[in-house]
Structures are given as structure tokens and as C-alpha cells.
Structure 1
């Protein structure tokens, strides 16, 4: 049995401040229904579910017509305008005190919203709360990451031009970030830019729980066009350098990618390494070994994908020392 780091169902803040869940949809196909259901079925019920149909042409909304009768769900249809434009339209209409992101092909665990609301209520100074996530690859859930990050940890990540957690796991406080919008010129890496801007001003934390499942799509445009993707990543990084008064020096080659496969999948292996380390820290060595083996099976002929398995076999201290020399590019750009 695969350990998915699901938290137990708890009685908590089932009613409280209104939370808006924003879902931008473009040709989500068969994945839209389970994704939307995972929000409708949250233990936290005081929700506004704002769905922006960004010009879908695949008939994906036909599969959710029965779900749209839920009075909490509101759908806005528009011509295809890219994800940042779609999300900005949603932000202009949010009624909730907090808002959360949900990608249209991902799954939120049942207590995700409840846990994040509780964290924001407990610490009113926080602008955002993130959580750990696992991956969905070929329909299988694997490689949960669930290490917490404090305010200081998140600040360190932001200073290093890194997101503290996967972007769609975020929940944000509208009273602090309500005036901020996604940069429409960034067709990719728009949330990387957005979260850096928030983190440069306000504190945020990451819950030590895996509450979100992120689907890796083999046919996504950014996976088929890594050079195109990296142009937008560089643009977002340049914007951050300009805000901080740091000289921008574009890299000709990314040393973190030791194989063509890792470039194409935006270094998914790094996520598996984090998962292995989380399992080792929680004394779940068998789960660490299983996760390392799952990574190796992604590309059995590529040595890069065996690193997670090596981390599962060596001591955690040595693994962490090696890990410091290897930083992941945000997974948010893989779709």
C-alpha cells in the first residue's frame, strides 16, 4: 500500500469566513469532473467556487452539468485569453475573505480548505498558507511531500528566488493581496512571479501536511516546448531582479538539468528527492525506497532518475548535504 500522507478527517471549521476557490479551465477533458468534485466535497462548506472557462473546446463542461446545480459554483465563460488573464478576471469578482487556487486537473484532499482556513485564522498576519502535495502520474498517486516551512523558512526561499511550495496549493488573504494581479504577459511562470511578489512583502507558511495532488500531463505544451517555457521563467526572474535591485544575468545553460528528460519534465525527479527525504525524516524508510524506485521507473535508462533511490539508501544526513547542491525549478510550469 502506498503511503499518501493523507490527514485524518477532523471536525473543525466547517463554517466560517467565505472562501473563494478559483479554477481556470481550458480543455481539462476527463479530469475536470474529479477536480471540481474534490472542491465540492471539502469538509469546509462555506465556499464560493468560481470557475473560469477560458474558451474550452473539448466539451469538458458537458461532464459536470450535474455539479453546476450546486449554488456555490459559478461559471464564467470567455474566449481563450491565457490563464493569467482568466485568473485576473476571477480575482476581480471574488467575494471571499480568503481565496484558494485549484488547477482544473488536480485533486484537493478533503480537509485541504479546512486546514488552511484554520491556519489563516490562527495567524492573522499571514498573507498566504501553502501545503504539501503529491503527484498524479498515469493515474497513480505518488511522492508526497509534507515537510512544514515556517515564516522564516519561506522568507529564505523567497530571497533565493524560489517558491516555498507548489503554487496551486496556496490560500491567500484578500485583505492583504486583493489588489495584486497576475502578470498577463507571462503565459507560463505567472504564479511564480505572483508568489514572489507576495513573499517579498508579506509572511507566509507551509503546512506540514500533504493536502493536494498535482497531475503531471504527458502531452502538456510546456513539456513539449521547454525552450518556450524557459523564456517566460527567465522573464519572471528578471522582473524579480529588477524589483530587488539585483543585476539580472541570464544563464546560457541550466546546470540543474543533467539529462534531456529532466529538462522536458521540468525536473520532476527533484520532487521525488524531496519526498524521499520527508519519508526518511518521518522514519518511513520503506515508503522512501518505494518512492525512489517509482522515480527510477520513470526513465530506467537515465541515471538522473536514480538519485531519489540513492537518497533512500544513504543516510539522511548525507542525502541532505547532497540535496543542498541541487535546487528544483518550480513545478508550476509543467502544465
Structure 2
């Protein structure tokens, strides 16, 4: 690998033609020029072809999917079409700073061969209006207290995902070795992918924020954002913890993930199922008093409703 190699940038899109010129435009405007930009259309109904034409950049290719499959399936289609030895990702409503790939490539080329990728800090901010600006918030990711940030990151990722996948620059060979994005998951897809990826080798980290994205804050009444959907959260935690268990991971991190699934089930008023996860967590960490308390609450429907949202979070 050397500075100047081709990077294939995969951008899944579904009904965001109005965002593409701004978002993908930030990739077209990169100071690092040797890019292949793959916009993967997941069966949109808006004018994505017109948006691609408006970009006026020969490096952009539109990859059409025949069936809607979600972001994981779209990313897999993009990877299948990629011709570069390096791959990167971009979400269709986010922004990459103009020197993102220049900085990531400079770091990557300085690292030993056992490094399979680099990633960068990002700035997340809430969507807001002028009238609601008093409630605006922003934060830097990964969290400033997070350690380690580079090197072998599998154990840290096992605790929970802190690497923003759209900031990654990766050896394609490592991505193929890790396996495709799991199209069965509707939540925590990035975490599942990163868990497999960090087993392949080490990561470098660019501490300067090179990526900007907005998010919808979680509210007490809930919203329809998939990452805030309790049902999908439960299913993803159950599925991923099952993968971890089958891979032989039985430490405290797995217990915390079992407890998190139980916590989601408690908030979804499914105490019978929550009980199973709390019991599984207790087998690994029997001396955790919170787990015993939640097991007791799961047998007391009226009290567990009162307890929802108070002390049920384990992450």
C-alpha cells in the first residue's frame, strides 16, 4: 500500500436524492483525488439518477439493487462492485471534511503491515431549528475518555462499539476476510461488522474530527428511528450475543450485553423474556447486585413498570 492508491468509497442510498449532491459532493471535493465513488441505490423511488448527474464527476458510479434490502445489503453490493484495494464508507446524509482521506492515507501508510485500517474522530450534532436552537447539542466521537483508541481494538470493541464505521479506511482484503455485513440485522449492524473486523488486525486513529453527522435525539416518548426501536435492539443484542457465545466469549462483557437485552425487554414490558437474559448474565457475573434486583423486578409487573428507564440501563 502506498499514498495515492485507489480508494473505493461505498455510499448506500435510499430516497435521499436531495442529500446526495451535498453529501457525496463532500467526497468529490476531497484533496485526495484517486477515488472510486459507488452510490448504491437500494431501490429508491426518487430521482437518484438526476442527483448523480448533478454531481458532474466521472469517478461516481451508480450501482442499482434489484430488491430493497437495507443499508447492510447495499454496502455488500457496493463492496462487490469495488475495484480498489482500499475501501471506505460514507452515509448518504453526512459530510466528510475535504482532507479526510489525505489524513487517513498519510497515517495508514506510516503504520506496520499488521494494521488493517484507520478511522477518525467525528462530530455528531442534533438536527434543530432556529426556534429550538436552545436544545441543540453536539459531541465528539469516540468519547474523550475512551481508551485504547489504536492498536488491537477487539477487546475494547467487545465492550461496545465506539468506532464510527463511516470514518473507516480499510484494506479490502481484511474486509473480505471479516465477512459481509449481516443482512439479517436491523440494528447494531456496524457493531457486528466491527467486532469481526477488529479480529483481522490493528487500527490506527486520527484524533482530528474528519466526519460530521446529525442525529435525532432519543426522547422519552420514543421515535421511529430504527436505532431507537426497542424490538430491534432486543433482537440485535440477542443475535450478536449468540454469535459471541458461539465464538467462545463468556466474560463480563458478554454478561453486560445479556443484561442490556434484558433491560430493553423490561422497557418493552416483556418481563418473562427479560428474566432469561438476566439469568444468563448472572451465570457469568453472579455477584452483580443489579442483576438480582432486576430478576426480582421481573416477577413484579407493577413495580417493574415504575422502574422502567430508571436503573435498567447497563451501557
Query: Residue 190 of structure 1 corresponds to which residue in structure 2?
Result: 189
Structural mapping, 1:282-321, within 5 Å: none
Structural mapping, 1:171-320, within 5 Å: 171-179=169-177, 180-217=179-216, 221-223=225-227, 225-246=229-250, 250-251=258-259, 253-254=262-263
Query: Residue 149 of structure 2 corresponds to which residue in structure 1?
Result: 149
Change (3 A) 1:80 1:155: closer
Query: Residue 262 of structure 1 corresponds to which residue in structure 2?
Result: none
1:76 aligns with 2:38: no
Deviation at 1:220, TM superposition (A): 5.1
Provide the rounded CA distance (Å) in 1 between the counterparts of 2:239 and 2:116. Answer: 25
Provide the rounded CA distance (Å) in 2 between the counterparts of 1:88 and 1:28. Answer: 19
Provide the rounded CA distance (Å) in 2 between the counterparts of 1:244 and 1:128. Answer: 25
Provide the rounded CA distance (Å) in 2 between the counterparts of 1:177 and 1:224. Answer: 27
Provide the rounded CA distance (Å) in 2 between the counterparts of 1:173 and 1:82. Answer: 24
Deviation at 1:173, TM superposition (A): 0.7
Provide the rounded CA distance (Å) in 1 between the counterparts of 2:97 and 2:163. Answer: 16
Deviation at 1:245, TM superposition (A): 4.2
Deviation at 1:64, TM superposition (A): 4.1
Change (3 A) 1:102 1:236: same
Which is greater in Rg?
Answer: 2
Provide the rounded CA distance (Å) in 1 between the counterparts of 2:98 and 2:237. Answer: 32
Structure 1: gaps of 5 or more residues: 1-12, 259-303, 305-325, 329-335
Change (3 A) 1:240 1:28: farther
Structure 2: gaps of 5 or more residues: 129-135, 218-222, 268-308
1:132 aligns with 2:121: yes
Cα RMSD (Å) of the superposition? Answer: 2.9
Describe the SS at the equivalent of 2:119. strand
Deviation at 1:158, TM superposition (A): 2.5
Describe the SS at the equivalent of 1:92. helix
Residues 52 and 86, structure 1, Cα contact 8 Å, conserved in 2: yes
Provide the rounded CA distance (Å) in 1 between the counterparts of 2:158 and 2:227. Answer: 27
Query: Residue 104 of structure 1 corresponds to which residue in structure 2?
Result: 92
